[in-house]
Structure 1
Amino acid sequence: MIRLRQMSVFAHIVETGSITAASELLELSKSVVSQHLKSLENELGIVLLKRTTRKQTLTVAGKQFYQQCKILNQVANDAWLEAQQSKAVPQGKIRITAPNALMETLVAPAIARLLPQYPLLKPELISHDHHLSLMSENIDLAIRVGQSKESTLKQKRIGEFRDVLCGKPEYIASSSWQGLAYIANTWQGHEICHQFHTQVKPAPLSKKQVDNQTGQTTGELIYAANAHCITNSFHTCLSLIKSASGIGIIPDFHLRSLSSELVEVFPEYQLPLNTIYALHPFGDQTPLSVNVCLQAIMTQLNITTTA
């Protein structure tokens, strides 16, 4: 690193015409600039500049060496300018991961609207229903359901939605809800338990009342079952539900787009809210490309969940 610094200083001495001018340009003392040149010549074992009190002249070896040092400074300047430009225009590769359901309805539409505006942006979208390691998978931005315990990541709550237990109308009507097969994703496991609450807050009760069907306090319903079929993909779950193979949960905003195909199993009840978080590993120095993509995703989320 010291050698590179010395070569850079040497190029500036040549280009400015003197040690004094180079020291002013580099904001270093003349003695420091002079020492860099002296150390460089000593290490190379050659004289690079012949100097008098009024003039400096490159030696033959100095001319050849300067051409390479000039390239070194140009590469450094180009790298600096390119990094500065990345703060002004979103560009380059950005890897974004999200669960399948959120990728299709949230992330992909948001990024699609950005591409015409920022042609230098090169997004790579990774759909996965399991949490990928941002560091080992080189992920720049992750959209997840629920807060992460990884303290090294910067995370921001960006919205919420509800899961809805649903199925084909004819399938739900074919049996009591206890007899309906449950289609689960691998993250849910084999033993399923959902706690529902009434969508309308019940009136105050004079005494404790019990719902005879579920054995729960009025206003609450517990659904428990063993998964009949388990898949590792949201889209596979959805396909099985739409094929009347069973019931399962999908996001409320996704159900709205399928309202003619699927219906809620318990329309009077609802599941708790799920929070959506955005995570990235950049701390407070967030790249512009990440900020732009995150803002687009948040805008799409507002459109999707309020439509």
Structure 2
Amino acid sequence: MKAPNGREMNMNRLAVFAAIVRAGSFTAAGRDVGLTKAMVSQHLARLEEELGVSLMVRTSRRMALTEAGSTFHADCVRILAETEAAIERVARDRQTPAGTLRLTSTTDYGVTVLAPALAEFIRRYPKLHVDLVLGDEIRDLVAERFDLSIRVGWLRDSSAHAMRLAKCRRWIVASPQYLAERGTPRTPIDLTAHDWIAAPLLPTPSRLTFLGKDGSHAIVRVRPVAQANSASAIRELVLNRAGISALPEYLVADDVRAGRLVVLFAPDHRLRAGGVYAVYPSQRAPAKVRLFIDYLRVRLAPRAQYLKPSP
């Protein structure tokens, strides 16, 4: 804010001035605001210099507001009260957020994980309206006015700010019927003799890097017989005996528990995990965004370990 002399004004001096009037002396005002008597006097002198008017008449025995000082003090009290109220509103909004939270994610993750999470979140904070937009394309958060994007896998370079919330493991899965017809691969290299359903969104759809329990690495080139840009579509292909694929654990955990799919190679060999990321356009995210990020991080924390493969 510019002072009448054209210089930038130090707004802290308003609080010091108000403290002087409230306390009745420089010494008492200094105790209230945590400054020395000399610093209080200096702040007042600088404030008067910036405004170009005398705010107080000071003698060795007393001090009194000038007419300009009295008017300016009333405005200072109002400004400081409004500032304090604004700070209180921000703090309150962090606990009870309101307004609209506009976020985006992939269709698969949004339906399977985000929608149930958001259902609980809006029950906790009924003043908050949620606008969830799903799709597999990368959105322009600024141009499309998104508060937040939840991305899964591997982040591309971006000017946005990102926070990793959890790991996203991918399991090698097949249907029991497929394995009964084609045999069960016992090691990753055995996949070369099997039909593979590729996911183009993976970093290397036809080349898999397995990590062993002993720290070893094995690179396997697979033979895709089909591909799809949707994890849900790949899941349907695998369930219907089209081949083997790598699918995110959040999407197939229930299938594995029910015996509809079988996890292969775990826990001896696993694929490198991707991540679940909160991506937001500005360095300082709004309170409603920070609160949802914290909520989602806690919700994702107890992720399941590899389920025991079916015999």
TM-score by length of 1: 0.60
Query: Once the 2 structures are TM-superposed, how far is the Cα of residue 161 of structure 1 from its aligned partner?
Result: 4.9
Which residue is equivalent to 1:62?
Answer: 69
Query: Once the 2 structures are TM-superposed, how far is the Cα of residue 116 of structure 1 from its aligned partner?
Result: 1.9
Which residue is equivalent to 1:186?
Answer: 200
Query: Once the 2 structures are TM-superposed, how far is the Cα of residue 17 of structure 1 from its aligned partner?
Result: 2.6
Indicate if the aligned counterparts of 2:174 and 2:238 stay in contact, CA closer than 8 A. no
Query: How many pairs are equivalent?
Result: 273
Q: What is the aligned counterpart of 2:231 among 223, 231, 234? A: 234
Q: Deviations over 1:112-164 (max 9, x none)?
A: 223323446666656565788999998768564479999x9664655745142
Secondary structure of the equivalent of 1:46? coil
Letter of the aligned partner of 2:251 in structure 1?
H
Query: Once the 2 structures are TM-superposed, how far is the Cα of residue 71 of structure 1 from its aligned partner?
Result: 3.0
Partners of 1:247 and 1:228 lie apart in 2 by 10
Q: What is the aligned counterpart of 1:255 among 246, 252, 255? A: 252
Which residue is equivalent to 1:213?
Answer: none
Q: Greater relative contact order: 1 or 2 (C-alpha under 8 angstroms, separation 6 or more)?
A: 1
Partners of 1:54 and 1:156 lie apart in 2 by 63
Structure 2: gaps of 5 or more residues: 1-7, 183-190, 212-217, 284-288
Query: Which segment is superposed worse, 45-54 or 139-148?
Result: 139-148
Partners of 2:50 and 2:219 lie apart in 1 by 81
Supply the RMSD in Å over aligned alpha carbons. Answer: 5.3
Alignment CA distance shift 1:86-1:304 (3 Å): farther
Q: What is the aligned counterpart of 1:31 among 28, 32, 38? A: 38
Secondary structure of the equivalent of 1:187? coil
Partners of 1:94 and 1:303 lie apart in 2 by 31
Q: What is the aligned counterpart of 1:290 among 285, 293, 307? A: 293
Query: Once the 2 structures are TM-superposed, how far is the Cα of residue 59 of structure 1 from its aligned partner?
Result: 2.2
Which residue is equivalent to 1:275?
Answer: 273
Structure 1: gaps of 5 or more residues: 198-219
Indicate if the aligned counterparts of 1:98 and 1:142 stay in contact, CA closer than 8 A. yes
Which residues in structure 2 correspond to 1:159-238 (within 5 Å)? 160-165=169-174, 183-188=197-202, 192-193=206-207, 224-226=222-224, 228-231=226-229, 233-238=230-235
Q: What is the aligned counterpart of 1:44 among 51, 63, 79? A: 51
Alignment CA distance shift 1:305-1:268 (3 Å): closer
Query: Once the 2 structures are TM-superposed, how far is the Cα of residue 84 of structure 1 from its aligned partner?
Result: 4.9
Which residue is equivalent to 1:200?
Answer: none
Which residues in structure 2 correspond to 1:15-164 (within 5 Å)? 15-82=22-89, 84-85=91-92, 89=95, 91=97, 99-119=106-126, 142=150, 144-145=152-153, 155=164, 158=167, 160-164=169-173
Indicate if the aligned counterparts of 2:103 and 2:146 stay in contact, CA closer than 8 A. no
Alignment CA distance shift 1:78-1:130 (3 Å): same
Query: Once the 2 structures are TM-superposed, how far is the Cα of residue 26 of structure 1 from its aligned partner?
Result: 0.6
Letter of the aligned partner of 1:187 in structure 2?
L
Query: Once the 2 structures are TM-superposed, how far is the Cα of residue 66 of structure 1 from its aligned partner?
Result: 1.8
Partners of 2:130 and 2:119 lie apart in 1 by 10
Alignment CA distance shift 1:229-1:36 (3 Å): same
Alignment CA distance shift 1:101-1:185 (3 Å): same
Indicate if the aligned counterparts of 2:170 and 2:247 stay in contact, CA closer than 8 A. no
